[in-house]
Structure 1
Amino acid sequence: MSDGFYYWYRQVWDTSRSLQLLDALDRLGLRTANPATGLVTTLTSGPDSWGEQEPITAQELGPAGGLVHGGALSLQLWLDAGTDLYTRFRALPKGGAAIEFGLDGLGERQDRVVDSLSRAVHDSWQETAGYVIDRYGRTEDTDWDGVILGGGERIDEWPDELAVRESVAAHHAQLAAAEGMSNPPLVVFGRTS
């Protein structure tokens, strides 16, 4: 079991939206540059190495985060010089992006980070395909891409909070039968705040 995650699915994604999000997160205290070193770092994802820091310029980060050529980008966002938030931008097969935030190692700061991420989601509500908040990683084996994107995958254990497009909720057997709160264009299940 992991220490939790926050997955955010965006219907539309490009360099401009990547830059807007990184600017918004920076204003919310999740900075792309380490406050002590000033370095912006991506993380390698194989096959030769995994998780090693690679410096990148702020100018390169926008296009890389925009997933101009598809694929994925892993990086660190910083709460302070010693506390980072693992972040991964991943292109989705039919367009858009999944943005994954690892909540491990945050301790008592987890609530503040989740609140900041939720503010960013709400600022882009209309372009959001859905999101999943699982503070303890209980649902890490669930195919969240399949659930959020309308594949109908089964939910064996429920996360702390889940939001999907209204059309997805209406056609998913479990979600259609569950009690959710409509906040168009999404339906939110299990709101924790």
Structure 2
Amino acid sequence: MKKIVLPALLAAALFTAPAFAGQPVANKAAASAVKPADKVYKLQPQLSTLGWDGKAVTHGHNGTVQFSGGELLVRGNQLVGGTVTVDMKSIKATDIKDAETSTKFMGHITSDDFFGVSNNPTATFKITKVAYIKGAAADANNANITGNLTIKGKTNSITFPAKVGVKNGVAAASGTATVDRTKYDIKYGSKSFFEGIGDKAIYDDFTLSFNVIAK
């Protein structure tokens, strides 16, 4: 099977709350926790990329899938949240050059054995936490992103390293996430569920390599 990557990222809410003299202590505490409003950066599908890579015992495949939209939330000069949406109908296997083989493969990967695209045309990733890595080199991953990934109607939390930045009105995030497909009810060819399949086995993990640009 292929690893997908789906990638993905984003979503949060604006924080505001007035503080009034003479209010109960509980209200004052709530007011002290208020943070500056987040700025919303719109994901640019035409500038963003998402690649997937999946492997079996004897072979592997890779390809692309397209973001359809989303937004990143920025506070100051840091990414703090957001949500991205992936168009699962756009999935392709770029390593298969033969037209007949490609058609057969894509028919299988979009079927219910894998991503069930007819009933699940989109996948989403919603950021729940961005933990910045202190002292990270300028050209290295500088944050660990945690969020809820939804594929085929199933949602699980995943964490992966990424390089993120905000500059001159552009927010960017790039990296690679590893996804266990079986957590999303994609069990076809998995040795974890089917014994004795030998070299016909498809590995449970696949990867998603992403480069998200938002303005």
Q: Which of these two proteins has the greater Rg computed from alpha carbons?
A: 2
Q: Report the TM-score when normalising by structure 2.
A: 0.31
**Richer in helix (by share):** 1
